[in-house]
């Protein structure tokens, strides 16, 4: 395929993604995209760290690409087509899967060492996003655990306000559901990065660079696993409450 045809093909993909953004945006108008209307703690639905893992890979890609492509269309760029393609593929990253990510990085960086260095940077950034999300989640989990302790105490003393307790339990359930959704998207990223590393290794990548990639993926996975443990602990405590 010639360079011009390849560019045109990628441009079509980028605009399909942008179109998907418009469709999903219209479908969600007037509703909560991040779940802040169902009793979920606002700390989990608002703020920068709420954005990274709240959506599926496809949604994240579509939203990021759509904004970039629109900016290209409104810009004074001499080559809006190239600008739009760059915006589309940059926004998606590993969110669209290992094959997409690997093709993207190999197009950008023919040199394996440089490509692995970029991958390391991507994994480290996503790990920092996990750490930031965990810090927010821990605040919510601590507060929910305190609510559970008070409810248990009130039940034991036969002083429980059943309606209030039910409302608090419903809020805790919403928080758990939101955190589990985030964890699912985090695990997907870990899995896709692992697939990319395996593909690079299969193509002959070796040495310090690929070992560093493996170490960073392992660190990210450990952070995700730690948050999973905290959420599972909260769920276990919540499950022990029976209001009758």
Tens digits of per-residue pLDDT, 45-67?
A: 987 788 777 665 555 565 555 55
- List the structure tokens of 100: 């997409």
Q: Which of 39, 231, 57 is nearest to 134 (CA)?
A: 231
135-182: pLDDT as tens digits: 999 999 999 999 999 999 999 999 999 999 999 999 999 999 999 999
pLDDT at 29: 36
Query: Taking a C-beta distance cutoff of 8 angstroms, is the pair 83, 118 a contact?
Result: no
Distance CA 105, CA 117 (A): 11
- Token pair 């002083």 is at which residue? 159
State the greatest distance between any 2 C-alpha atoms of the chain, in Å, as a whole number.
77
81-140: pLDDT as tens digits: 545 545 555 556 676 688 888 888 898 899 999 999 999 999 999 999 999 999 999 999
Distance CA 92, CA 99 (A): 12
- List the structure tokens of 28: 């969600």
Distance CA 15, CA 70 (A): 10
175: left (phi over 0), alpha (psi -120 to 50) or beta: alpha
Whole-structure pTM value? 0.75
Crossing angle of helices 208-239/162-202, nearest 10°?
160
Q: Does the structure show a pLDDT above 70 at 78?
A: no
């Amino acid at each position: 395929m010639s360079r011009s045809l390849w560019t045109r093909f990628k441009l079509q993909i980028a605009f399909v993604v942008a179109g998907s953004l418009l469709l999903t945006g219209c479908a969600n108008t007037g509703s909560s995209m991040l779940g802040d209307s169902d009793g979920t703690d606002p700390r989990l639905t608002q703020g920068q760290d709420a954005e990274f893992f709240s959506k599926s890979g496809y949604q994240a890609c579509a939203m990021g690409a759509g904004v970039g492509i629109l900016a290209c269309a409104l810009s004074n760029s001499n080559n809006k087509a190239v600008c739009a393609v760059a915006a589309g593929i940059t926004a998606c990253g590993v969110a669209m899967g290992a094959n997409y990510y690997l093709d993207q990085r190999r197009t950008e960086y023919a040199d394996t060492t440089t490509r692995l260095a970029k991958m390391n940077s991507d994994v480290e950034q996503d790990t920092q996003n996990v750490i930031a999300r965990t810090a927010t989640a821990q605040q919510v989990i601590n507060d929910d655990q305190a609510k559970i302790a008070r409810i248990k105490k009130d039940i034991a003393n036969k002083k429980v306000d059943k309606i209030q307790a039910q409302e608090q339990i419903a809020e805790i359930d919403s928080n758990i559901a939101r955190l589990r959704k985030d964890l699912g998207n985090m695990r997907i990223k870990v899995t896709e990065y692992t697939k990319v590393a395996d593909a690079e290794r299969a193509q002959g990548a070796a040495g310090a660079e690929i070992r560093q990639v493996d170490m960073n993926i392992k660190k990210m996975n450990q952070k995700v696993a730690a948050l999973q443990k905290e959420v599972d602990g909260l769920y276990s405590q919540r499950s022990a409450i029976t209001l009758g």
